[in-house]
Structure 1
């Protein structure tokens, strides 16, 4: 089943009406945005929303996420702007990926672009590298051991490993698109040929299940994971704190969306 942009837009409008919020930004966040969806991949829609001003003027802690069960291939949920900005201060990689998704569905008001402008100042190479390293290690040890492996899981280890390499070499947030990471980070070699062959098969809709392991890729991943376990300890700790600017950004967003 394929969902159209119109259907996703309609769902976002429904959420705005039911929840009494305004969606500031929405994008694709999963394998479709990474560039290697399966034939039956869900649409992983993530969004940032803002509630009316009075909602924030309370002594009580309130739920700051909107989540719905997966239905009709649509996995959709969002974070309140205040939650998103607090995670942004901590250089949260999933949020930073959303902000540069190659498949945006909605962007209204000026706040999302203002957040992007602060991204280079809040980006923390070390915490981001640890995030991707943890992802790579977990998937590598769970899915890519033995003579036969779940072949599609190579993408879920290669992408975070190459993201670590990007962070080490360029000191910035890596792009979401898997193919860009491969082209920029992997020199022409047998390794690159094997990776691109897998990607071609995935894009063609060939279901990749249990197959003999690809030795050149396994050896590369094992070597790189061990390397980044040591490298992450020595990489820069964090970006600059921009608390005052983020506070101003939040207040300005409330004024822009809801008025004084």
Structure 2
């Protein structure tokens, strides 16, 4: 867990009740430096009147602050939006929901965690393939270690998720769970020493090209061989959870399909 800033106090300042807040980013991925900012992610509950009125509510809140010299970025979605993202093969929200670095939790958070495995499909590969590609382009432009490690991390997370059905975003742990180049541990150490450190002569670019291509191919194969389903499940249970969280006294039945569908 990041030190040097009172994360619980920041959570307490928010205008809407939080369902949960966890630490994401480099701290979750296992390669923060001393200068890394703190990425807090989570879900909140908007008031009923904002959800049923004529004015479309803003369902995402972003707070950026500097606390005791630490840059902090808090992004939360209303629970309804967060759950809809869960049902759309979004790896980000699963990583945030299942992060072990928990700053704030509730019974609804625990229920979401329990239902999360139902939403995982083989098509989460698209998320990790796309994110790895964007980070690889950033590395090619900047030469910095951070986007390179994000590239390795996203590919390995995707392979592990598609192969086992379990979310693992912590890169050092992934190095023990999945075959990976030995030099990645050295890249992690270099990134921890310098937030904007460059690759320099740590590893030959040609070797990186080859290893990333091999990992991308493994992700493709993991998607093809995955025992995970094609479509998410649990939408009825998640519907009940969203309604009950906002209206605790409501009697909720299964989500109903519109007539004619």
Bin the TM-score by the shorter chain: 0.7 to 0.9
Pairing 1:202-221 to 2, within 5 Å after superposition: 202-205=191-194, 208-212=197-201, 213-214=203-204, 215-221=206-212
Q: How many residues align?
A: 243
User: Counterpart of 1:50?
Assistant: 45
**Shift in CA distance, 206/247, structure 1 to aligned 2, threshold 3 Å:** closer
**Shift in CA distance, 199/229, structure 1 to aligned 2, threshold 3 Å:** same
Pairing 1:64-213 to 2, within 5 Å after superposition: 64-72=59-67, 73-108=71-106, 110-126=107-123, 128-144=124-140, 149-170=143-164, 172-186=165-179, 191-192=181-182, 194-205=183-194, 208-212=197-201, 213=203
Instruction: Give per-residue Cα distances to partners, 1:179-205, cap 9 Å, x unaligned.
Output: 111110026xxx22x111222333345
Superposition TM-score, scaled by structure 1 size? 0.82
Report how far residue 29 of structure 1 moved. Answer: 1.0
Displaced runs of 4 or more, over 6 A: none
Report how far residue 28 of structure 1 moved. Answer: 0.6
Rounded to whole Å, the distance in 1 between the matches of 2:187 and 2:177 is 17
SS of 2:197's equivalent in the other structure is coil
Report how far residue 246 of structure 1 moved. Answer: 1.5
Verify the 8 A CA contact 1:161 1:224 in the aligned structure 2. yes
Report how far residue 59 of structure 1 moved. Answer: 4.0
Considering fraction of residues, name the structure with more helix: 1
Verify the 8 A CA contact 1:38 1:207 in the aligned structure 2. no
Unpaired runs of at least 5, structure 1: none
Rounded to whole Å, the distance in 2 between the matches of 1:253 and 1:168 is 31
Instruction: Give per-residue Cα distances to partners, 1:161-195, cap 9 Å, x unaligned.
Output: 1122213422x1431211111110026xxx22x11
Report how far residue 132 of structure 1 moved. Answer: 0.7
Rounded to whole Å, the distance in 1 between the matches of 2:148 and 2:170 is 15
Rounded to whole Å, the distance in 2 between the matches of 1:54 and 1:206 is 44
Unpaired runs of at least 5, structure 2: 251-261
